Amino acid sequence: MNIIPAENYNDLSQKAAKFIIEFVQSKPDAVLGLATGGTPEGTYKYMVEDFNHNKTSYQNVRTVNLDEYVGLPVENPNSYHAYMYNHLFKHIDVPEGGCHIPNGMAEDLDAECKRYDQLISSLGGVDLQLLGIGHNGHIGFNEPGTSFEKRTHTVELTRTTRRANARYFDSLDEVPTHALTMGIKAIMESRQILLIASGKDKAEAMRRLIKEENISEDFPASSLQAHSHVTIIADREALSLAYNYERRA
């Protein structure tokens, strides 16, 4: 795993945006796997800023998002559809038809999962997958204990994850109990992975990811240790238990 240390959240966001922008510039028809949550907000902000100043084009890019809550209509501001539209899609020139997010309102969720998997393969797979990481090591919404063999599937969210996401809702009760997520198998098939993490509360998860050589379904992010092309961009606080800033060359 290649680690790019950042000083703080702003520095991390700039570095992650630069990484994605350069990727798109070198492959203008890239399939980008995208994530939501607090961490990528700054990255998207800097991608938008670059689009406004440098006009990096996303006209031929296609995107697939990792996950979506079950039961939140797209117009609900907490849906990941709304998140992606508001933070990124409406600000850049990516065609609307090229942006894909699982449909958490589908009547038949199993059929929706199959459709999403077929869609990803019809796009030729993901070139660069952006990931955040949960305190419990989840990636996407693959909670501890999820089989690494799964592709897109429905998950019941753990209380930890619902509590972490409750900051966006009026109360914990309003946080959906289920979500659709790309599985570890699909994430691992991405040609490149960029994981971003910020803040002290991610330090233990980053320690387990970087320092422990134990690939286990109890800590889903550990699957990334078996991937040959992973870059981690994280800030000083997130790396405080896993990386020695003073000793870097």
H/E element holding 18? helix 9-26
33-52 binders of ligand F6R (CB under 6 A): 35-39
Of 90-98, 116-124, 126-134, 210-218: span binding ligand F6R (CB under 6 A): 126-134
- Which tokens in the block code for residue 247? 């000793």
| Nearest by Cα to 40 from 66, 3, 22, 62 | 66
Catalytic site includes residue 117: no
Compute the least distance from the CB of residue 112 to ligand F6R, in Å: 17
Q: Does 235 bind ligand F6R (CB under 6 A)?
A: no
Of 30-38, 88-96, 145-153, 231-239: span binding ligand F6R (CB under 6 A): 30-38
Catalytic one of 138, 142, 153, 237 = 138
Helix (H/G/I), strand (E/B), else coil: 234: strand
Cα end-to-end span (Å), the chain: 17
Catalytic site includes residue 67: yes
* Closer residue to ligand F6R, CB minimum distance, 39 or 146: 39
Q: Does 237 bind ligand F6R (CB under 6 A)?
A: no
- DSSP string covering 104-156, please? TT-SSHHHHHHHHHHHHHHTTS-SEEEE---TT--BTTB-TT--TT--SEEEE
Catalytic site includes residue 8: no
Can you give the binding site for ligand F6R, defined by CB under 6 A?
35-39, 66-67, 132-134, 138-141
Residues that are catalytic: 67, 136, 138, 143
